[in-house]
Every structure is written in structure tokens, then in C-alpha cells.
């Protein structure tokens, strides 16, 4: 690449050569250098023999030296961004410093916070998660030190020459490396929809920086020249520190003190440096996909002169320490930024890290709670990441909850795995578990593949092969967010592409309820486009306005309003207006005001929830509607009654204070700099300018968010915020249902009416309602106790009857009972009691109902290993003309007829005779 022939290379007489192994071109001062200097073409040369003169006392020394170097050269130091990329719709996590500025800055939509700038950005990548702990150099979490320059057509900052000179000066003058120790390898970089030529900076076989010269946009797989030219550099903080310390692995360099403290606590063996070097060399230079772990242990045992099993035990323990160190830090970053482990989205990635940590501990036989290990690591990290340490209590509570779930899962795992093998054998005739089965077991049950392999071998005698890139495959499925929602109106954008942007009167005056407008288009008599409108379209969780459009031929009811690109569509019922005529729009004023109260209340409630439950809380969804609205937030358990009361009290305190609600338009960069990424609570808001809604005065705002919704002008207009219901709707998400204003008053009045009704029914005063209800409940419980005693007697009698009918067919017991309109709960109790002491039994229950016959089949824990419930139900359905199904140990069906009891019995006997 001729453009990479920089003035530094020319001035210092660098040689451009081609690596005979990887075929990449590279630049070096060493005339005799053969390879490019990168793995696996070149071995590590710095371990035990670190280059340069600078010997940092800590990793902070390297970070600070880098940032100060660029500050002295005209760069503005900016704060690191969060690791969750809430300003983007395409990815969940920040994977490089340039992610902070994509797409808004890189597309030229908004200016950067400074130009040029420098920062050290925590970044997360799951691409090589399976190699973490083995290769010696791979991390899931790392800090990318960077300096960026954004060159516009009318403003040049600096480009390739200056970038290479800065890098060379930093490594030689600041870190004391020799000129001839540095190699620059040519390559092409792609990421986040952009691309450009790059130079990878290599020292001693280790890549320590990448200098990217971004000037392409990737469109349909092709490179399209951008108007901007962006210097995108990435200096690996951890790798540079590793290089300067010469430690055996990056883990020993970065986490050394923590690892040794943890090793002492856990009583794990300490490998020799020679063993670690061979471990890092083997996994660092050979791709695990073309070799095997067992072969690695054999290779290392020969090098160090120890038995293979001894090497395996030592290195497995060491790998566990490395995984705990790396994954623990990455997990802490994510949790401190509000990620709750779950089975979807970014929460899936957090749980993946946690499960991999717990799996490693399980295999290594470590019984110390993970919370103790995480607590130790948070202490180790607190000086570098004080904002993470502040969330220590939340992080440890989340880890404790996840560890409890994992331990329960391990107890259940043998039965789950045995059932999976049986199901596979029935379906395919093969007694095995493949990669797809391992993925299903992990995603549906959460069982790590290594544990499946161990249990399958020890209990079932089955060999299970776990791919070396198993976790990378899983993580790849959750790296990117889902696409945008489709429009909610049946309109092809081509039908309106010639129309101008609709003037949004609702933003000019939120209390404009009557307006005049010209009809630009009527589509299929149902969709109306006006040149301007005061009807608010659905968006940001707020439902659309309702109202009417009056025109020359009458009146049309507006039942929905949607945005399709820049055009606002009115969905109508009734006679449509004529195109070109001027009409009057009338917004339902009372409903709009209610929605304004609900929307502002949502902001206040969200901030109140964060202040009570913690900063990990983020909005996960919302609907501002009447008479009730909902707010979904990320939280790992149901709030207590006391916490809910505190949230409500805090929210209403803001309402009573009658705080101002200030709305202003700010540039995206200015808004982020002033208020932080918190403004994206409601999701990503597009555009160069953001509509910022602030609750409270400028000197002490209560809440600030980017929001396009309708709001009151002062909080006192809300009247009251009343939380109606709080429920857990999915893992890691809690829903608050609430109401405001007159609807809150109506709700409270309805509660009063209910209390009055209860008072009348119980015959006690309103003040004594609780006492009266308690007495009724106690009486009911006493009666339930008597009913249960009678039920036990009845079950005992039915068990005797079933035992008298029991027969054994091919080693499996079979019996039946028959009822007339029996309650399902009684049948379940009877079946549970009967099978508890007879696990090798098939139990048939026939329940005659007024409109037909219900038939239920129960299998014991042993009989289910030989009898397929689905086959039994299929035969019964066919034989009695019914419908039903089953899985595992239970099946049920129904027929509208009343077949003889003997028909059911003979069918099941026939199934058992064929075993």
C-alpha cells in the first residue's frame, strides 16, 4: 500500500518486506528480518526479557504516561464512555474506542467532543472468549488507549504521517524502546460500518497497537469513500504493560497481585514460569481449532518433564485463576453499567461470563463462593475503576443470585442430561449428544458443555466432544441488537416519498388543540397526510393522540397517528376529506393532558426508582397510556413493599414541589457532555440535535432525558402518582403499573369502594377491615385443613383400589382409576402420592365429565426411562377419537365420547407389551 509509505519510514530508511508465512507486507529497520513480527509468524521474544527502559510500577503508570503524552501534543483528554453502547442501535457493547463516536461523529452528523482527542476506553469483545485463560494474551475486557483526529473537507487536523510519527515517538521516547525493535505491519481494518488501511505496531512478537486510517464506508460489502478522514488508533494498555514487564502471560502482568492472593486463598498449585511460557506459546501460536487441549498437555509435559496428569491439574487450576481474573473484571464493568444477567440481549452475555466462571470453579473443585472472589477482585480494581467499586453491593448481590441458580442447576443436571439422551435416542436411534444438543442444553437449561461431557461420561458411558470455540459461537449470536420495528400502518414508503416533511405543531405548542391544515394526500380512504399537524404520533412509549378532522364533507375520527419517515400519517374512521382542501384538526384535549401527565410522571418515577433501587436500573420499556401506564426497568428481584413505598413517596415529593419541566434542543455532543449517556434512558434518539426534557431547575435537576414526548410545564400539574402494581415480567425486568391525576383519584376511590364492600360483607367497620379479613382467612385455613385430612383418607382408599388392579407387563407396573367429574387438584395429589413409592409404574386416570371423557397418564421416574409418553398419548388419541399430548412423565387428552374403560386399558397394555 503506497499510501502507507510514510515520511517517517522514508526519513529513517525503513525496509518494506513481505512475510513468507502470512504474506503481509511490513516495515522494519532490520534488513535481515524475515517475518512480520506477529503471531504465529514470530515467537514471543519479550517474556523474561522486557524491552525498553521504562519499568512501570503499575498499569496506571502506562495509562497516565500515554494520556499526558498526547495532551502535551494538543489533544484534549476526555472521560471514558460506558461499556454498554446505549447511544447505538446496532451493538450492545463498546468493542473499541471508535465505537464511542459511531455513527454520529463518523458520519459527520455531529462534531466530536474535541478534535483531536485522547482517552483510554474500556472495551469488551467475546470473539476469543474460548481462548481466554489459555493463550496467555486474549482478554474479554481490555482498555483501548487511543488518540483520534477527525479531518473534514474544510478542516485538516492530521493524517497518516503524523499518526505514525506520534506512535513511534511514544514507544521510543516515552517507553524507551529501540527504533529497530518496532515493526509496522500493513493491513485493512473494518468495523462498525467503516474501513481503512492500517498499520499494526509489533514488538517482540506481540501486537501492541493498531493505527487505522478510516476513510471508507462499507456499503453492501463494497468500500465507498467518505468525505471525512478519521485517525482511529488503538493502543492495547494491557499488552503494552505486559510487554514492559516481561511476565509469562498478560494475566500475570495485569492481575498478578490478585491472582497470587486468590491462589493462596484457594490453595491452588503454582506452575513454574517455564510451564506458563510453554502454555502461552502453545495456545498463543497454534489455533485451538486445528489442535486439541489434550495434545497441548502432552506437548507441555514433554517440555517440562512432568506427567501429563500433573501438568493438566496444575494448568487447569491456573486457567481457572486467569478466567476468574479476566471475566470478573469484564463482568464488573457490565454490571456497574446496569447489565442484569438474563437469557436475552446483553444480559445473555453477562450470564455467559458468569456461567463460564462458575463452570471453571466447578471443574477445578473450588467451593469458595464466587461472591468472595468477586469481592477480592473489586478491591483490587477500585483505584482504577472507582465508579465500578461504588456499585459493589449490587454486583455482589447479582453474583450471589446467579451462583445460587447455578448450584441448583448442577443438582438437577444429571436428570436433565439423561432425559436429553433418552429423547435423542427415541428420535434418531442414536445414543449421543452433538454440538446442537450442547447448545440446546446451554440455552434452554444453562448447563455448560463441560459439565454435560463429564456427566454423560460418568453416568451414561457416552463420549461428548465439546468444540473449542463453543462459547464464541454462543456469544456471536448476541453481539448485535435486533433491527428496527416495522411501521404500524400499511403504507409503502414509495406512496409518500414525494411528500414534504410534516410540520410538527405539537412541538411548537404542546397545548395547541385546534389547528388548520391542508390535506396533501388521502390513501385508500383510511390514511390522511396533512401539511402540518398538532396530533402527536405514537413514539417513545407514548400512545398517539385521538380526535377529529372536520372537512367539507363532514367529520372523520382520528383513531391513530403514526410516523413513516418524515411524514405523519393520520389513521381515520368515517368520511375522508378531499385532497387539497383545508381542514380543521381537533385534538382530544382531556386525553392529551392525561398523557402529558403520564409521560412526565414516567420520567419522575424512573428517577425515583433509580434513587431507591440503585444506579443499575435502566428503562427497559414503557407505555404512556390512560387510565394506566407502565414502566419496565432492569432489576434483578421484586422490590419490597417498603421500597415501593419509598419510590412513591419520592416521586410525589417532586410532584408537590411543583418543579419546572424545562424542554430545550441541544446538539448531541453538547447534551452527552453535559448530562452523560443517562439521557438515553428511553433508547437511542436519532438526529444531530436532541430534545432534552429536564425535570427540576438548572442548578439541581431531578431528571434529564432525551425525549420526544409531550410533557406538562410544571410537576404540580400531574396531581398525584400512584403505583398500582409491581410485577416481574421476565428475568431481570420489573414492571411498574401506575396512574396519575384524575385517574389516580378514581383508582383510590375504587379502593375505598372495595373496602366499604368488604366492610359490609364481613360486618365490621372500615377501620377493622384488615382484622375481619384475617379472621375469615384463619377460619378458611382451618376448614382447608379439615378438607385435606378428608382428602388424605380418600386418596388412601383410592390407592388401595389402584393397587388391587396393578399388573406387571414386561417389567413395568400398570394400573388405573376411574372418576366422575373429579377435581384436577385431587387427581394430581393422588397421582403424586401413588407414584412416590412406585416409580416403575404407568398410572392411567379416566375422568368422566358431562361433555366427554378426560384421560391422564402419569409415568414414574423409572417407568419414564422405558415408556415414551408421546407414543402412549398418540395411541390413546387414535383409539378413543380424542386429542391431547404430553412430554416427560405426564400426558393428558380429551374425547367428546365416553369409550368403555376396557378400551383405555387394552391400549396401554398393548403399548407395554411392545416394549
Residue 890: band (very low, low, confident or very high) from pLDDT cuts 50, 70, 90: very high
Query: What is the pLDDT, as a whole number, of residue 134?
Result: 83
Residue 519 has pLDDT above 70, yes or no: yes
C-alpha cell at 595: 398523557
Q: Please state, for a pLDDT cut of 90, what percent of the chain lies above it.
A: 67
Cell 506452575 belongs to: 271
8 A C-beta contact, residue 297 and residue 315: yes
Query: What is the pLDDT, as a whole number, of residue 274?
Result: 79
> How many Å is the Cα radius of gyration of the chain?
34
Query: What is the pLDDT, as a whole number, of residue 288?
Result: 43
What is the tens place of the pLDDT at every residue in 206-246? Answer: 999 999 999 998 888 899 999 999 999 999 999 999 999 99
User: For the chain, what is the mean pLDDT?
Assistant: 91
What is the tens place of the pLDDT at every residue in 29-79? Answer: 999 999 999 988 998 899 989 998 899 999 999 999 999 999 999 999 999
Average pLDDT estimate for 875-883:
93
Of 451, 443, 371, 374, give the one whose Cα is nearest residue 411.
451
Give the list of residues 6+ apart from residue 463 with CB closer than 8 angstroms, or none.
Answer: 456, 457
What is the tens place of the pLDDT at every residue in 842-874? Answer: 999 999 999 999 999 999 989 998 999 999 999
Listed range (484-488, 615-619, 836-840, 883-887) with the worst mean pLDDT: 484-488
Measured CA to CA, the distance from residue 795 to residue 826 in angstroms comes to 8
Residue 483 has pLDDT above 90, yes or no: no
Average pLDDT estimate for 320-325:
96
Average pLDDT estimate for 315-319:
88
**CB-side neighbour CA atoms (13 Å) of 565:** 13
Measured CA to CA, the distance from residue 330 to residue 96 in angstroms comes to 14
Give the CA distances from residue 394 to residues 339, 340, 390, in Å, rounded to whole numbers and listed in that order.
11, 10, 9
Measured CA to CA, the distance from residue 756 to residue 660 in angstroms comes to 39
Average pLDDT estimate for 554-576:
94
Listed range (31-35, 198-202, 370-374, 433-437) with the worst mean pLDDT: 433-437
What is the tens place of the pLDDT at every residue in 687-728? Answer: 889 999 999 999 999 999 999 999 999 999 999 999 999 999
Average pLDDT estimate for 647-666:
96
Measured CA to CA, the distance from residue 434 to residue 463 in angstroms comes to 10
Residue 480 has pLDDT above 70, yes or no: no
Residue 898 has pLDDT above 90, yes or no: yes
What is the tens place of the pLDDT at every residue in 79-134? Answer: 999 999 988 888 899 999 999 998 889 888 899 999 999 999 999 999 989 889 88
Residue 290 has pLDDT above 50, yes or no: no
C-alpha cell at 747: 383508582
Q: Omega into 520 within 30° of 0, i.e. cis?
A: no
In terms of pLDDT, which residue wins out, 407 or 292?
407
Query: What is the pLDDT, as a whole number, of residue 771?
Result: 73
Of 201, 281, 208, give the one whose Cα is nearest residue 241.
208
Residue 286: band (very low, low, confident or very high) from pLDDT cuts 50, 70, 90: very low
Residue 683: band (very low, low, confident or very high) from pLDDT cuts 50, 70, 90: confident
Neighbours of 61 (CB within 10 A): 14
710 Rama sector, left if φ>0, alpha if ψ -120 to 50, beta otherwise: beta
193 Rama sector, left if φ>0, alpha if ψ -120 to 50, beta otherwise: left
Residue 482: band (very low, low, confident or very high) from pLDDT cuts 50, 70, 90: low
What is the tens place of the pLDDT at every residue in 273-285? Answer: 777 777 766 655 5
Query: What is the pLDDT, as a whole number, of residue 486?
Result: 63
Give the list of residues 6+ apart from residue 839 with CB closer than 8 angstroms, or none.
Answer: 860, 861, 862, 863
Residue 902: band (very low, low, confident or very high) from pLDDT cuts 50, 70, 90: very high
Average pLDDT estimate for 595-618:
96
| CB-neighbour burial class of residue 411 (10 A; exposed 0-12, middle 13-18, buried 19+) | exposed
Neighbours of 665 (CB within 10 A): 11
Measured CA to CA, the distance from residue 838 to residue 823 in angstroms comes to 23
Of 798, 792, 793, give the one whose Cα is nearest residue 815.
798
What is the tens place of the pLDDT at every residue in 774-804? Answer: 777 777 777 777 777 777 888 888 899 999 9
What is the tens place of the pLDDT at every residue in 729-782? Answer: 988 899 999 999 999 999 988 888 887 887 777 777 767 777 767 777 777 777
Give the CA distances from residue 816 to residues 328, 901, 904, in Å, rounded to whole numbers and listed in that order.
55, 10, 9
Amino acid at each position: 500500500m503506497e499510501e502507507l509509505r510514510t515520511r517517517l519510514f522514508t526519513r529513517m530508511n525503513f525496509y518494506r518486506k513481505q512475510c513468507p508465512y502470512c504474506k503481509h507486507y511490513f516495515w522494519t529497520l532490520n534488513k535481515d528480518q524475515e517475518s512480520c513480527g506477529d503471531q504465529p509468524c514470530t515467537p514471543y521474544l519479550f517474556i523474561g526479557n522486557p524491552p525498553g527502559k521504562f519499568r512501570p510500577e503499575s498499569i496506571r503508570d502506562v495509562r497516565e504516561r500515554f494520556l499526558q503524552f498526547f495532551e502535551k501534543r494538543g489533544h484534549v483528554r476526555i472521560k471514558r464512555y460506558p461499556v454498554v453502547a446505549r447511544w447505538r442501535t446496532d451493538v450492545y457493547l463498546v468493542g473499541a474506542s471508535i465505537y464511542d463516536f459511531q455513527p454520529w461523529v463518523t458520519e459527520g452528523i455531529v462534531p466530536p467532543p474535541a478534535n483531536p482527542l485522547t482517552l483510554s476506553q474500556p472495551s469488551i469483545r467475546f470473539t476469543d472468549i474460548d481462548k481466554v485463560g489459555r493463550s496467555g494474551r486474549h482478554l474479554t475486557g481490555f482498555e483501548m488507549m487511543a488518540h483520534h483526529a477527525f479531518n473534514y473537507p474544510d478542516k485538516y487536523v492530521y493524517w497518516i504521517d503524523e499518526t505514525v510519527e506520534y506512535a513511534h515517538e511514544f514507544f521510543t521516547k516515552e517507553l524507551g524502546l529501540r527504533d529497530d525493535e518496532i515493526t509496522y505491519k500493513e493491513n485493512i481494518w473494518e468495523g462498525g460500518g467503516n474501513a481503512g488501511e492500517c498499520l499494526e505496531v509489533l514488538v517482540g512478537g506481540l501486537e501492541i497497537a493498531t493505527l487505522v486510517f478510516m476513510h471508507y464506508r462499507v456499503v453492501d460489502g463494497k468500500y465507498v469513500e467518505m468525505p471525512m478522514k478519521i485517525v482511529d488508533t488503538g493502543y492495547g494498555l494491557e499488552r503494552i504493560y505486559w510487554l514492559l514487564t516481561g511476565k509469562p502471560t498478560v494475566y500475570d502482568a495485569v492481575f498478578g497481585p490478585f491472582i497470587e492472593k486468590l491462589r493462596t486463598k484457594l490453595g491452588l498449585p503454582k506452575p513454574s514460569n517455564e510451564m506458563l511460557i510453554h502454555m502461552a506459546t502453545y495456545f498463543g501460536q497454534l489455533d485451538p481449532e486445528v489442535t486439541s487441549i489434550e495434545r497441548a498437555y502432552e506437548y507441555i509435559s514433554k517440555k517440562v518433564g512432568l506427567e501429563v496428569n500433573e501438568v493438566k491439574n496444575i494448568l487447569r487450576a491456573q486457567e481457572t485463576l486467569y478466567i476468574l481474573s479476566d471475566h470478573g473484571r469484564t463482568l464488573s464493568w457490565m454490571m456497574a453499567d446496569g447489565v442484569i444477567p438474563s437469557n436475552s440481549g446483553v444480559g445473555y452475555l453477562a450470564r455467559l461470563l458468569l456461567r463460564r466462571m462458575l463452570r471453571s470453579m466447578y471443574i477445578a473443585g473450588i467451593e469458595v463462593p464466587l461472591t468472595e472472589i468477586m469481592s477480592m477482585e473489586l478491591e483490587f480494581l477500585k483505584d482504577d475503576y472507582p465508579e465500578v467499586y461504588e456499585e459493589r453491593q449490587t454486583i455482589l448481590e447479582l453474583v450471589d443470585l446467579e451462583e445460587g441458580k447455578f448450584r441448583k442447576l448442577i443438582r438437577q443436571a444429571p436428570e436433565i442430561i439423561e432425559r436429553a439422551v433418552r429423547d435423542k435416542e427415541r428420535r434418531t436411534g442414536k445414543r449421543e449428544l452433538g454440538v446442537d444438543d450442547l447448545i440446546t442444553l446451554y440455552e434452554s437449561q444453562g448447563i455448560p458443555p463441560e459439565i454435560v461431557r463429564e456427566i454423560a461420561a460418568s453416568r451414561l458411558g457416552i463420549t461428548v466432544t465439546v468444540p473449542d470455540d463453543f462459547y464464541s459461537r454462543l456469544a456471536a449470536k448476541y453481539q448485535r441488537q435486533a433491527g428496527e420495528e416495522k411501521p404500524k400502518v400499511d403504507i409503502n414508503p414509495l406512496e409518500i416519498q414525494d411528500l414534504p416533511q410534516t410540520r410538527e405543531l405539537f412541538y411548537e405548542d404542546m397545548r395547541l388543540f385546534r389547528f388548520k391544515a391542508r390535506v396533501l394526500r388521502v390513501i385508500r380512504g383510511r390514511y390522511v397526510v396533512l401539511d402540518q399537524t398538532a396530533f402527536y404520533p405514537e413514539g417513545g412509549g407514548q400512545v398517539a393522540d385521538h380526535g377529529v378532522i372536520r372537512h367539507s364533507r363532514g367529520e372523520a375520527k382520528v383513531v391513530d397517528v403514526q410516523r413513516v419517515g418524515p411524514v405523519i400519517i393520520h389513521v381515520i374512521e368515517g368520511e375522508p376529506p378531499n385532497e387539497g382542501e383545508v381542514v380543521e384538526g381537533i385534538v382530544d384535549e382531556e386525553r392529551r393532558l392525561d398523557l402529558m401527565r403520564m409521560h412526565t410522571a414516567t420520567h419522575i418515577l424512573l428517577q425515583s426508582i433509580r434513587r431507591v433501587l440503585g444506579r443499575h436500573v435502566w428503562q427497559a420499556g414503557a407505555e404512556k397510556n390512560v387510565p394506566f401506564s407502565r414502566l419496565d426497568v432492569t432489576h434483578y428481584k421484586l422490590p419490597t413493599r417498603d421500597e415501593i413505598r419509598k419510590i412513591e413517596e419520592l416521586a410525589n415529593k417532586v410532584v408537590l414541589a411543583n418543579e419546572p419541566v424545562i424542554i430545550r434542543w441541544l446538539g448531541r455532543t453538547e447534551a452527552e457532555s453535559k448530562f452523560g449517556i443517562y439521557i438515553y434512558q428511553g433508547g437511542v434518539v436519532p438526529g444531530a440535535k436532541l430534545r432534552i426534557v429536564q425535570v427540576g431547575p438548572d442548578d439541581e435537576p431531578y431528571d434529564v432525558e432525551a425525549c420526544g414526548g409531550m410533557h406538562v410545564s410544571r410537576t404540580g400539574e400531574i396531581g398525584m402518582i400512584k403505583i398500582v402494581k409491581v410485577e416481574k415480567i421476565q428475568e431481570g425486568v420489573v414492571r411498574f403499573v401506575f396512574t396519575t391525576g384524575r385517574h389516580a383519584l378514581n383508582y383510590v376511590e375504587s379502593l375505598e369502594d372495595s373496602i366499604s364492600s368488604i366492610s359490609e360483607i364481613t360486618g365490621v367497620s372500615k377501620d377493622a377491615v384488615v382484622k375481619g379479613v384475617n379472621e375469615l382467612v384463619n377460619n378458611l385455613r382451618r376448614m382447608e385443613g379439615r378438607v385435606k385430612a378428608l382428602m388424605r383418607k380418600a386418596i388412601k382408599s383410592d390407592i388401595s383400589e389402584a393397587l388391587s388392579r396393578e399388573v406387571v407387563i414386561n417389567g413395568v407396573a400398570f394400573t388405573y382409576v376411574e372418576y366422575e367429574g373429579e377435581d384436577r387438584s385431587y387427581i394430581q395429589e393422588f397421582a403424586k402420592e401413588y407414584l412416590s413409592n412406585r416409580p416403575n409404574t404407568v398410572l392411567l386416570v379416566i375422568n368422566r365429565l358431562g361433555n366427554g371423557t378426560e384421560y391422564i397418564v402419569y409415568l414414574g421416574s423409572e417407568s419414564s426411562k422405558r415408556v415414551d409418553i408421546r407414543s402412549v398419548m398418540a395411541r390413546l388419541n387414535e383409539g378413543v377419537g380424542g386429542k391431547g399430548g404430553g412430554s416427560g412423565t405426564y400426558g393428558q387428552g380429551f374425547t367428546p365420547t365416553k369409550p368403555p374403560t376396557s378400551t383405555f386399558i387394552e391400549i396401554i397394555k398393548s403399548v407395554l407389551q411392545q416394549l
